[in-house]
Amino acid sequence: MAAPMELFCWSGGWGLPSVDLDSLAVLTYARFTGAPLKVHKITNPWRSPSGTLPALRTSHGEVISVPHKIITHLRKEKYNADYDLSARQGADTLAFMSLLEEKLLPVLIHTFWVDSKNFVEVTRKWYAEALPFPLNFFLPGRMQRQHLERLQLLCGEHRPEDEEELEKELYQEALECLTLLAQRLGSHRFFFGDAPASLDAFVFSYLVLLLQAKLPSGKLQAHLRGLPNLCAYCTHILSLYFPWDGGKARWRGGTGPWDSGQGLQERAPPPTFLPCPSAEVPPPRQTPAGPETEEEPYGRRNQILSVLAGLAAMAGYALLSGIVSIQRAAPARTPDTRALGMAEEDEEE
């Protein structure tokens, strides 16, 4: 019997199954298709088989760490959320995916990783509290630098020199993107009818992160909350596919806050501005997913290794930055060759 597929992803927060955009998209797609995954929600990327999150270990032991490649593998395993789409809908999917990456993703990165108030009070706060010691001291800053590099790649050569002008341009395009998504969704349950597709997994991931986080600086969030059908869309998916993770949050409509509700797993929240959607979850393409487990693989061995690696990284940083220095006394006699070789090797390491 083949080993089960295992998905390693960032743990949840803010009423969501995961706080990471890529992890959330893969989790949502897997839930849409009913792919039987053993899910490990962790807060230490070093415990992933690839060292990054999300990562999928296939039934044959192969490790895939790119979200789009993970979804492609699930499709090859007959878990395809786009199986019933027409050629026209497939083309629309590609167009909207490109729109999300070009117009909405840069602002999401800017909102969570560049905006100083949001980064300090929301993003870094969550990761610093969730990550184990000593990773919580340096990994949030490293992740911020990685997201800044990703933002630079997304902006490309057309990036304005003035940071304020860049921010204004990015946010204006993101506002237009949200409005276009609201118009395209209309009063439908999903973007292509009554069953979710891969586009829904990505749109939901982008929107629900922005909607759920308590951002002190949230210009784009305020605009999203003014689009009631997109808010109801996020609530509907949360309540039906993640009822035990964040599905008890209900959107009241308008610009009001989230509040708690009861029985949302059985009955979808009735928005005041849309017809009440059916609460039945569309049947998965394949065998329903097995129970999701929060059990983290491996054990005390990896925890000890993580702590030792972190301590080594902190010691290396202290040496390189000059906080700690090593001074050697001049030798009273000429050392032998072997001792000299070992000293040089230690310095190189």
pLDDT band at 211 (very low <50, low <70, confident <90, very high): very high
What is residue 56's predicted lDDT score, i.e. its pLDDT?
Answer: 96
Least trusted range by pLDDT, from 84-88, 136-140, 227-231, 305-309: 305-309
Is residue 18 over pLDDT 90? yes
Mean pLDDT of 162-173: 80
Percent with pLDDT over 70 in the chain:
67
pLDDT band at 155 (very low <50, low <70, confident <90, very high): confident
Q: Count Cβ atoms below 10 Å from residue 348 Cβ, excluding itself.
A: 5
Is residue 27 over pLDDT 90? yes
Least trusted range by pLDDT, from 13-22, 46-55, 174-183, 331-340: 331-340
pLDDT band at 314 (very low <50, low <70, confident <90, very high): low
The mean pLDDT value of the chain amounts to 77
What is residue 347's predicted lDDT score, i.e. its pLDDT?
Answer: 30
**What are 231-278's pLDDT values in tens digits?**
999 999 999 999 876 444 333 333 333 333 333 333 333 333 333 333
**What are 97-133's pLDDT values in tens digits?**
999 999 999 999 999 999 889 999 999 999 999 999 8
Is residue 154 over pLDDT 60? yes
**What are 65-80's pLDDT values in tens digits?**
999 999 999 999 999 9
